């Protein structure tokens, strides 16, 4: 009903709205049309038909920040091909009014992301896609250090009422099974602790695929980023639906 009331208010503010044209054409009073419209809306609700979903172009934009490393920063790619830009375009093409800021810094670790958290996620941000940890794993940083940094990021964002979608990372095999087990457990454990959605592996479908990675074998090409966006999109859309501004 909230979405219906907003729609009705927008209709009233528009001198050329449909009810007014109908009233002029058929001699029906606006109040009569309004009563009929209200009854129709009640019937829809009574039938269990609820109009809801992510933000559309007529609403205030949702402001999202991708806090990450080179994987989201778009190392080696034009800015328009980086993950935040491609994701924003995909969502806008689906009719959503959304702004996604790229706060990815190449070479950043989880601790580095924590150090710049306050200025990377400005006031007014409604959601953060948190993509950090790949460099921690590549450098063999103690998983306890990585976990503590990500934990603090999640705690601070929760205190600010900023929703978070946590993106997981997988440790390379060269540090052994014990390290991999400790590192890989960081993300599901923190997602459970802070009750945030988890996308298990940011590079799903792209890692180790030579056709989707640049010459270094680690950073996605434009096509690789497109694959990441395609794979993560359902999770992102579900995440946006949980945001207050994403509800009608």
Q: Which sequence positions are flagged as catalytic?
A: 70, 216, 219
Distance (Å) of CA 237 to CA 85, 91, 94, 107: 16, 8, 11, 28
Report the distance separating Cα 199 and Cα 128, nearest Å.
13
Structure token pair of residue 50: 């609820």
Helices 186-194 and 143-159: crossing angle in degrees, nearest 10, is 20
DSSP state of 244: G
Nearest to 149 by CA among 184, 119, 109: 109
Pair 53, 248: CB distance under 8 Å: yes
Pair 150, 137: CB distance under 8 Å: no
Q: Where are the alpha helices (DSSP H) in 165-221?
A: 176-184, 186-194
Distance (Å) of CA 114 to CA 2, 108, 119, 121, 198: 38, 10, 10, 11, 19
Start-to-end Cα distance in the chain: 8
Helices 30-46 and 2-13: crossing angle in degrees, nearest 10, is 160
């Amino acid at each position: 009903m909230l979405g219906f009331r907003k729609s009705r208010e927008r209709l009233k503010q528009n001198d050329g709205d449909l009810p007014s044209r109908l009233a002029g054409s058929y001699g029906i009073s606006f109040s009569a049309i309004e009563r009929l419209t209200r009854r129709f809306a009640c019937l829809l609700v009574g039938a269990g038909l609820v109009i809801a979903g992510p933000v559309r172009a007529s609403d205030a934009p949702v402001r999202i920040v991708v806090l990450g490393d080179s994987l989201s920063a778009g190392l080696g790619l034009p800015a328009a091909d980086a993950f935040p830009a491609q994701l924003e375009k995909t969502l806008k093409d689906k009719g959503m009014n959304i702004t996604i800021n790229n706060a990815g810094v190449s070479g950043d670790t989880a601790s580095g992301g924590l150090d710049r958290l306050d200025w990377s996620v400005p006031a007014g941000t409604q959601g953060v896609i948190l993509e950090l940890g790949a460099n921690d794993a590549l450098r063999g940083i103690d998983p306890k250090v990585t976990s503590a940094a990500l934990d603090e990021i999640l705690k601070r964002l929760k205190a600010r009422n900023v929703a978070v979608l946590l993106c997981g990372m997988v440790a390379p095999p060269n540090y052994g099974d014990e390290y991999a087990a400790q590192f890989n457990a960081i993300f599901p454990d923190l997602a459970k602790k802070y009750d945030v959605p988890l996308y298990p592996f940011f590079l799903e479908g792209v890692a180790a695929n030579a056709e989707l990675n640049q010459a270094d074998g680690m950073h996605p090409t434009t096509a690789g980023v497109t694959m990441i966006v395609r794979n993560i999109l359902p999770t992102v859309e579900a995440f946006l639906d949980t945001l207050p501004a994403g509800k009608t």
